[in-house]
């Protein structure tokens, strides 16, 4: 049976139907194609690295939450005071660092603005060598911190008196230059104790026979404060809001999705032991460590400010509210991104 010829009217109807199908396909997929074509905004962030304290940032990256909010986030491992220096210089658009370093920059005339706090208390313990059995055994010994005025220094000086020890009198505080150096000094026997965040470092010390002698997680101090410079904030409020939106959403994902969070812990921190993953997850999702809404608050800065004021006259009477802006977290919470 041969192919039947199609009349002019039928041909016109077929062409019309084909055009309609193409038009419908374009309208259905057009918004997606357009969204894909919209370039992501580049946003450079410094953070502590593959540590549990940075889980909201790591989750936002690995789960595609940053991209969902239109951001191409470049994560750079810069910790401590150098992270604030990179922020001030414009090398990064946001720093995630300790309250002490941020306050130091603020009282020196810089213009940091804290938008959120990912860890409201120090997420760790004071670890000691096997020969130190109790805090009293530290008398006359050495305690490592990263840098003078750092979060580790603030936490150590706040915790030691609670153990019956006076900093710089009963114990010698050694500034090692970085968190990594402090842990290495403890492992090598150069010091007798050090604050250690729960995570890869504490696991390494546990395996080597070291042990915690004091829980420091009750020390209220903003350990991972999300900070931008005021001039950048003034000219890029939309970008900054999208970044905070992503972190608030990732914060909620961490609290509610244990399976995914432990996958991130395994992948990013190279911790394959399920017990270790669960221990880290349970510790870092405690409300005292991970607030349900990561608002920056005055009490998170009171202790580091008091310690800074004891050494720096510019810090005396400094109004911390000038550098806190909770409105970005509030906007995200009002839109239900914390659920």
**CATH number of the domain enclosing 232:** 3.40.190.10
Q: Which of 55, 46, 61 is nearest to 266 (CA)?
A: 55
Asked if residue 280 belongs to a domain, the reply is: yes
Number of residues that make up the chain = 339
Contact, 115 vs 227, CB < 8 A? Answer: yes
Task: Give the chain's domain count.
Answer: 2
Residues 263 and 311 placed together within one structural domain of the fold: yes
**What is the full per-residue pLDDT of the chain (339 aa) written as tens digits?**
333 334 443 433 333 334 443 444 433 333 344 344 579 999 999 998 999 999 999 999 999 999 999 999 999 999 888 999 999 999 999 999 888 889 999 999 999 999 999 988 889 999 999 999 999 999 999 999 998 888 899 999 999 999 999 999 999 999 999 889 999 999 999 999 999 999 999 999 999 999 999 999 888 888 789 999 999 999 999 999 999 999 999 999 999 999 999 999 999 999 999 999 999 999 999 988 988 899 999 999 999 899 899 889 999 999 999 999 999 999 999 999 999
Predicted local confidence at residue 31, as pLDDT: 37
Asked if residue 108 belongs to a domain, the reply is: yes
- Could you tell me the strand order of the sheet in which 193-197 lies? 172-175, 142-145, 193-197, 124-128, 211-215
Residues 113 and 132 placed together within one structural domain of the fold: no
Q: What is the pTM of this model?
A: 0.83
Asked if residue 281 belongs to a domain, the reply is: yes
Predicted local confidence at residue 37, as pLDDT: 55
Residues 330 and 237 placed together within one structural domain of the fold: yes
Residues 207 and 323 placed together within one structural domain of the fold: no
Q: Which two tokens stand for residue 176?
A: 């090692």
Asked if residue 14 belongs to a domain, the reply is: no
Compute CA distances 253 → 5, 122, 216, 294, whole Å.
Answer: 62, 21, 26, 13
Residues 156 and 274 placed together within one structural domain of the fold: no
> Among the three residues 189, 215, 241, which one is the final residue of a domain in this structure?
215
> Among the three residues 173, 193, 215, which one is the final residue of a domain in this structure?
215
Cα(28)–Cα(19) distance, integer angstroms: 14
CA 41 from chain centre, in angstroms, equals 20
Q: Which of 252, 215, 219, 218 is nearest to 116 (CA)?
A: 252
Predicted local confidence at residue 270, as pLDDT: 93
Asked if residue 3 belongs to a domain, the reply is: no
Cα(145)–Cα(160) distance, integer angstroms: 13
Asked if residue 22 belongs to a domain, the reply is: no
Asked if residue 18 belongs to a domain, the reply is: no
Predicted local confidence at residue 176, as pLDDT: 95
Contact, 48 vs 77, CB < 8 A? Answer: yes
Residues 291 and 315 placed together within one structural domain of the fold: yes
Residues 116 and 246 placed together within one structural domain of the fold: yes
Its domain, for residue 319, covers 41-121+222-334
Residues 108 and 192 placed together within one structural domain of the fold: no
Q: Give pLDDT tens digits for 191-214.
A: 999 999 999 999 999 999 999 999
Residues 200 and 132 placed together within one structural domain of the fold: yes
Residues 240 and 192 placed together within one structural domain of the fold: no
Residues 158 and 174 placed together within one structural domain of the fold: yes
DSSP state of 121: B
Cα(75)–Cα(92) distance, integer angstroms: 9
Residues 65 and 202 placed together within one structural domain of the fold: no
Radius of gyration over alpha carbons of the chain, in Å? 26
Predicted local confidence at residue 112, as pLDDT: 97
């Amino acid at each position: 049976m041969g192919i039947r010829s199609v009349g002019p009217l039928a041909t016109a109807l077929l062409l019309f139907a084909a055009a309609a199908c193409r038009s419908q396909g374009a309208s259905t997929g057009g918004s997606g194609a357009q969204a894909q074509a919209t370039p992501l905004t580049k946003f450079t962030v410094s953070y502590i690295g593959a540590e549990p304290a940075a889980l909201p940032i790591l989750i936002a990256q690995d789960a595609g939450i940053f991209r969902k909010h239109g951001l191409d986030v470049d994560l750079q491992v810069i910790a401590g005071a150098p992270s604030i220096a990179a922020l001030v210089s414009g090398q990064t658009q946001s720093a995630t660092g300790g309250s002490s370093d941020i306050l130091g920059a603020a009282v020196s005339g810089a213009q940091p603005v804290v938008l959120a706090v990912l860890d409201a208390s120090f997420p760790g313990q004071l670890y000691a060598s096997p020969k130190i059995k109790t805090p009293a055994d530290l008398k006359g010994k050495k305690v490592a911190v990263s840098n003078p005025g750092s979060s580790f220094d603030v936490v150590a000086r706040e915790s030691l008196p609670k153990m019956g020890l006076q900093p710089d009198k009963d114990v010698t505080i050694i500034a090692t230059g970085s968190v990594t150096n402090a842990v290495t000094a403890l492992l090598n026997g150069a010091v007798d104790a050090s604050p250690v965040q729960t995570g890869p470092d504490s696991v390494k010390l546990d395996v080597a026979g070291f042990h915690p002698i004091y829980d420091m997680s009750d020390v209220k101090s903003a350990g991972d404060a999300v900070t931008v410079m005021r001039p950048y904030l003034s000219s890029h409020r939309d970008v900054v809001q999208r970044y905070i939106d992503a972190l608030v959403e990732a914060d909620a994902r961490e609290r509610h999705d244990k399976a995914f969070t432990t996958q991130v812990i395994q992948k990013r921190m190279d911790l394959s032991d399920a017990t270790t993953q669960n221990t880290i997850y349970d510790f870092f999702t405690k409300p005292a460590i991970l607030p349900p809404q990561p608002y920056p608050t005055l009490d998170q800065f009171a202790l580091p400010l008091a310690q800074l004021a004891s050494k720096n006259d510019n810090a005396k009477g400094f109004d911390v509210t000038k550098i806190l802006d909770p409105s970005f977290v509030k906007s995200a919470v009002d839109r239900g991104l914390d659920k």
